[in-house]
Amino acid sequence: MRDITLGQYFPCDSVLHRLDPRLKIVSLIAFIVLTFCAFNFYSLALVGATVIAVVLLSNVPVKMYLKSLKVIIIIVIITSLLNLFYGQGEPIFQWWIFKVTWAGIYNAIFVCFRIIFLILFSSALTFTTSPNDLTDALERLMKPLTVFHIKVHEIAMMMTIALRFVPTLLEETDKIMAAQKARGADMESGSLVARSKALIPILVPLFVSSFRRAYELAVAMECRCYQGGDGRTRMKQLKLMKRDYICIAICLLVIAGVVLCNIFLPQIR
Amino acid sequence: MSLLNVRDLVYTYSLGSPLEHTAVDSVSFTIKKGEFIGIIGHTGSGKSTLVQMLNGLLKPTSGTIELDGVNIWAKPKEIRRIRFQVGLVFQYPEYQLFEDTVAKDIAFGPTNMGLDSEEIENRVYRSAEFVGLKRELLEKSPFDLSGGEKRRAAIAGVIAMDPDILILDEPCAGLDPVGRDILLSQIYHYHRERGNTVILVSHSMEDVASVCDRVMVMNRARLEMFDTSQNIFSRGEELREIGLRVPQITSIVDNLIEAGVPLSKGVLTVDKAVLDITEYLKKEGRL
């Protein structure tokens, strides 16, 4: 129940942990776009070097990154294989309807690395940014949307609460499961129908207690005069520091590097 | 005849990870049939982990639990049978209610045992009576009951399985004083009438002192003492050292003894104290 690695905060201290979360989100988007704009091996290698640098700078054990890659390894293999057989041009190897071309091989390699880089970049963000910082930053970044009457603060608050209650609900589920097992509930055996029926004694109490918690939380928030986002000040003000500006500079350099590689260095394929 | 025989029980959470933590450490004891046992200890002393091992919800890291002379993990496939024999009522059991009527919820355990419907109905009525639930409540939705009634319904759900050993983890937590006393005396009467073994986990020394024959004291994952309630609560100093206390009435009598009044140590109930003190006063000719 507890092994959910993708999108988990890893608390420790590093330059990346201390960076402004808004900046981290924006640079994540920039790097993802960049990964898909790397058209030749030189620019792909540059993005790869950036990924490795980010992973090392984050101070998070490499094992954690590998764990999050494990989840998507099948997707990587399938997309790479599809790309391998759908290349245009002269076939270098052919068997039945499958033909392998140089273009296909290139495509497969590019797709494979792009997905891996994508996951590594996003994992780096979630490993180094606490859920609270993340929603805080999203709220700030989406602020311009208030012009369109989108309730940015409410959305961010909902996200914060949802994230906050994930571990609580997991714990609650464990408890209810144990209690029903003590009354002889059998969840490990039987047909699919029997097993889904066995979920009722767990889901009903879980829903009931979620509603109760939601109600209690709402009352507790109102007791502390919460009235939504209007006129609310914050304790932690996000402010760009020297290290944030350095980070912006580095990001711009990498972007420029990839663009230059794309334009001036030869396409291998 | 010993009913439950526990030897060198160890339970370690997250074994082999940096969060490794031993909750129960080399605990051994024997319980005879028909005893009323109390377990006291600090929060986090391993009480809840221990009782969850006794009914096979947690598998011990090492050590054995023998029920009627048979190791409960001898046939892991049949562990469900052990759970019917050793009924466990969790803390705040009212949060496990789920059926649309109280009667159906109480019947959940017996139904899982595969009993016929007549027997199930019998058991529902009997166990509802034991916990003092009125008949007309049985057809109501459990979510329409009051907090105390929900608690009773949940306890009835475990009693309905007619376990050889009934374990209650903090059954009185969060109830008002009158509700506590009533529930506790109902549990006591259930024990008396059926002659079943009952294990009561509690934070309240008064509760434990008033009903239990023998008391286990857990401290930092270890079984610190296991003796009759009277002997345990005569060791007030040691209990205080591990952050527990003796029942209020016991400490009042202890103070009187210290002040020179010749009373006997280890008084557990107010009634007994009243008896002792009036006897003393009569002997002195002051009454």
Asked if A184's CB is within 8 angstroms of B80's CB, the reply is: yes
- Structurally, chain B folds into a number of domains equal to 2
Tokens of B83: 């759970």
Residue B159 sits in the same domain as residue B257 = no
Residue B204 sits in the same domain as residue B273 = no
Residue of A nearest to B112 (CA): A184
Which of B57, B92, B95 to probe the A interface (max A CBs under 10 A)? B95
Whether chain A has a CB inside 8 Å of the CB on B97: the answer is yes
Residue B267 sits in the same domain as residue B224 = no
pLDDT 10s digits, B6-57:
999 999 987 776 778 899 999 999 999 999 999 999 888 899 999 999 989 9
Cα(A94)–Cα(A101) distance, rounded to whole angstroms?
9
Cβ under 8 Å to B: A residues 191-250: 200-201, 204-205, 208-209
Task: Check if the beta carbon of residue B137 is closer than 8 Å to that of residue A212.
Answer: no
Residue B151 sits in the same domain as residue B270 = no
Task: Check if the beta carbon of residue B205 is closer than 8 Å to that of residue B244.
Answer: yes
Strands B86-89 and B165-169: parallel
- Compute CA distances A236 → A20, A169, A239, A243, B171, whole Å: 12, 28, 9, 18, 43
* Chain B residues whose beta carbon lies within 8 Å of the beta carbon of residue A181: 57, 83
Asked if A201's CB is within 8 angstroms of B57's CB, the reply is: no
Residue B62 sits in the same domain as residue B128 = yes
Phi, psi of A2 (to 5 degrees): -100, 0
Domains in chain A: boundaries: 15-129+239-264, 144-223
Asked if A182's CB is within 8 angstroms of B57's CB, the reply is: yes
Asked if B98's CB is within 8 angstroms of A209's CB, the reply is: no
Residue B101 sits in the same domain as residue B211 = yes
Of residues A11, A3, A247, A1, the one with CA closest to residue A131: A11
Residue A5 has pLDDT above 70, yes or no: no
Tokens of A166: 């994930």
Cα(A148)–Cα(B30) distance, rounded to whole angstroms?
71
**What's the CATH number where B134 sits?**
3.40.50.300
Domain membership of residue B265 as a residue range: 247-287
* Chain A residues whose beta carbon lies within 8 Å of the beta carbon of residue B57: 178, 181-182
Which long-range CB contacts under 8 A does B247-254 form with residues at least 24 apart? B247/B205, B247/B206, B247/B209, B247/B210, B248/B206, B249/B206, B249/B273, B250/B205, B250/B209
Residue A98 has pLDDT above 80, yes or no: no
* Chain B residues whose beta carbon lies within 8 Å of the beta carbon of residue A61: none
Cα(A38)–Cα(A32) distance, rounded to whole angstroms?
10
pLDDT 10s digits, A177-198:
999 999 988 877 778 888 888 8
Whether chain A has a CB inside 8 Å of the CB on B10: the answer is no
- Residue A268 has a pLDDT of 59
pTM for this structure? Answer: 0.76
Residue A7 has pLDDT above 60, yes or no: no
Average pLDDT over residues B141-153: 91
Residue B222 sits in the same domain as residue B242 = yes
Residue B155 sits in the same domain as residue B193 = yes
Q: What is the mean pLDDT of chain A?
A: 85
Residue B153 sits in the same domain as residue B280 = no
Average pLDDT over residues A234-263: 87
Residue B146 sits in the same domain as residue B262 = no
Whether chain B has a CB inside 8 Å of the CB on A2: the answer is no
Q: What is the mean pLDDT of chain B?
A: 90
Asked if B161's CB is within 8 angstroms of A178's CB, the reply is: no
Residue B266 sits in the same domain as residue B130 = no
Tokens of B198: 């009952």
The number of C-beta contacts closer than 8 angstroms across A and B is: 56
pLDDT 10s digits, B57-92:
999 999 999 998 889 998 888 888 899 999 999 999
Residue B186 sits in the same domain as residue B252 = no
Cα(A100)–Cα(A87) distance, rounded to whole angstroms?
7
Of residues A12, A115, A119, A4, the one with CA closest to residue A57: A12
Q: What's at A203, amino acid-wise?
A: L
* Chain A residues whose beta carbon lies within 8 Å of the beta carbon of residue B52: 178
